[in-house]
Amino acid sequence: MQLIDPSHPTYRPLWVRLAIVGSCFGWAIVELVAAQPFWAILAGAAGAYAAYMLLLTFNPQEPAATNTPAQNPDDGDEAPADNKQD
């Protein structure tokens, strides 16, 4: 089961990926200081998973061009057929 989709364009900038991982580990430290080991382990596990997905195995893909107009082979310098002269 994949919880983070690394191909999403949101994760493309490095600072975003570092902020996500850092906030997870930062929250784990806050929970440790507050003497809540269960929540610290959960936040640390989320940070470890995010670090694995977004930093270690991140392979950026170029976005596919889906909005390119299709070229019509009939396009040319010819006059339109409905412009008939009598």
pLDDT number for residue 86: 60
CA distance from start to end of the chain: 70
pLDDT number for residue 45: 94
Encoded tokens for 24 = 């997870």
Separation CA 20–CA 54 (nearest Å): 9
Encoded tokens for 84 = 């008939």
pLDDT number for residue 3: 77
User: H helices of the chain, where?
Assistant: 14-33, 37-51
CB 53 within 8 A of CB 6: yes
pLDDT in tens, the chain (86 residues): 677 777 777 778 888 889 988 999 999 999 999 998 999 999 999 999 999 888 888 776 665 656 555 566 565 566 666 666 66
Count the residues in the chain.
86
pLDDT number for residue 2: 74
